[in-house]
Structure 1
Amino acid sequence: TVGTGNIAGVATAVFLGGPGALFWMWITALVGMATKYAEAVLAVKYREVDEEGNHVGGPMYYIKNGLGSKWAWLGMAFAIFGAIAGFGIGNTVQSNSIASVMESNFGTPTWVTGLIVMVLVGAVLIGGIRRIGHVAGALVPVMAVSYIVAGLVVLFINAEQIPDAFDLIFTHAFSPVAAEGGFAGAAVWAAIRFGVARGIFSNEAGLGSAPIAHAAAQNKSPVRQGLVAMLGTFIDTIMICSITGLVIITSGVWTSGESGAALTSMAFAQALPGLGNYLVAVSLAIFAFTTIIGWSFYGERCVEYIFGVKSIAPYRVLWILAVPAGAVLHLDFIWLLADTLNAFMAIPNLIALLLL
């Protein structure tokens, strides 16, 4: 779950909704911990074993096995939306963020980054070169820890700005923030809308994607798996997103007019010149790459549920081709598409969570 949402997503929320968006992100995480717990408990309780002997589960399975055949249409709706939504949250947003951070830090054209990422993703998914995936998977914890440490160092450097930052966060969670510098100003609804949207984007609570992964766990106890899932939301949003948000606000660059990953890079570079922005660029590239691979698994499980195992290969081809498209498209359009598709995914899942 640690990925672009923690770096680019938080920056987009602050850029569009002002510092108050961070408060609404926290609220989303607290509610999201409960949803994520419920999702993982149901995923383990109602999972199945497929023909290859793997545990498969997720919303479509807990709807089918928990709510019965009269709700089968809801499970099918989730699988359809999940297969499509992955192209937003799990693919194009990720490649777009890698491309923008590579362009702002290293001057690499977006289409070049898009093609390189496409080749690497293709090598893992179609070429079966799992080694790239394993290397990236091993790098994620290292980069996550490095990112947190660097964030704490920046906050130590900007220590005297922290009380003012909290003042801005709590004030603007409930009152509009005026335009200044490159910041266009934001109403309270914008803080709520972008705080909630980016919070959900970062921790995926309620979307129904995470239970697909939790269903594959070796854990026999649904409750214990639920607690693991809940902790993930806490670390992801309450800890890592807060560090990113506070770095951006204490550095003062949130009024610069930059958005997304470029804004986070700028904030880190201000406190750690010549180092901070490169750390953000490398962390983001690795996080986003593993997210693209991880989400392809979620999408594949959804199409497998609808059409069977034979549909996985063509889905992978489409998935790989979408990567360079995301890299060159406009940032605002990409995020809007992702948010809309996320909502379509969340609705059938949340109905099932309430009923079960």
Structure 2
Amino acid sequence: MKLLLLGDICPTAASAPFFKVKDISTLFTDTLSLFEGKDLIVANLECALTEATEEIKKFGPALKAPKETAEVLREIGVDVCALANNHVFDFGTKGLRDTLAALDENGIAYTGVGENEEDAKRDFFFEKDGKRICVIAACEHEYSYALQNRMGARGYDEYQIPEAVRRAKESCERVIVLYHGGKEFCPYPSPRIRRIGQALVRSGADVVLFQHSHTIGAYEAYEGGHILYGQGNFHFVKLLDMEEWKSALAVEYDTESGDVTFIPIAEGENGIALAKGDQHDEIMAKFAAYSKSLADGKWREGWHAFCESKKKSYMNTICNAARPDSTEYDNAAFAHNLDCEAHTDVWRELFPTYNHTNCIEE
């Protein structure tokens, strides 16, 4: 089977009008060629498809898009949307139910969400010509994750997800894991993220894609599996004016050979296009450099330098929450940084325990 695995899709102010009128040629231009001849196309839908206006309490933007987005996804050939991400619940239960209804109306399957914590654990299975594959989607704990008594996204559990991979591999030729997490805009994995990626492959995953970081990250081939530590956005145009934001990798996966192909995508004015010429070469050169750092060990230096660049922000979060006149916002920001795994990765890198000072001289 030929699979196409795509990163974050979210209509923005620049692109939503074109989603509304289903102007596919403007939105996707020559990337439409990627959708041809594929047996299964998987994408991460990074927003709610709703007209709801009541946002949940959170930090960061609340993302939504017109329901016509689902029609566009159907017309370009998307078969299944991964919904385990930190924005699918931005407009609460109403927004998520509207999203599921829009996908259902257009015959698009979804995975990574459920009526409650247990229901969200359902994986997606696809079978063709007697061959079966499984797609497992999970996210870090950032506002959207399902609870015992509330619908939401599937939160990543370091024990349950590897076990789900092992169970799936018993009946499937291939298992794909989409992990929505990691530190935004960092091309290097944290030590925890790298351990997760490798553990998932050892459990039986053939492809592990880390999404959410909005930047292309490092890649490694590991014990017969493929791990991409940052796929970048697929269609999320003009939300931020950052170089990292403007490029991504579409992933083609051949389930028979086990080979992956990375296709660089570039942001345009209202849509996206295949990267070409110097732009293509620059994207792939950076990608190769990030990937090389995993082999020579320099990824740890890159990760640490990134964390150091964020130190002032994290220190302010601590200090503001500790003030006698701290606000509800200050306290919530501190709690959020403790709840979300990507933030605790930075905490641990910046503020190691005193055990690190207990050196024993030989």
Which protein is richer in helix relative to its size? Answer: 1
| Fold shared by both chains (TM-score > 0.5) | no
TM-score by length of 2: 0.26
Question: Larger relative contact order (C-alpha < 8 A, sep ≥ 6)?
Answer: 1
TM-score by length of 1: 0.26
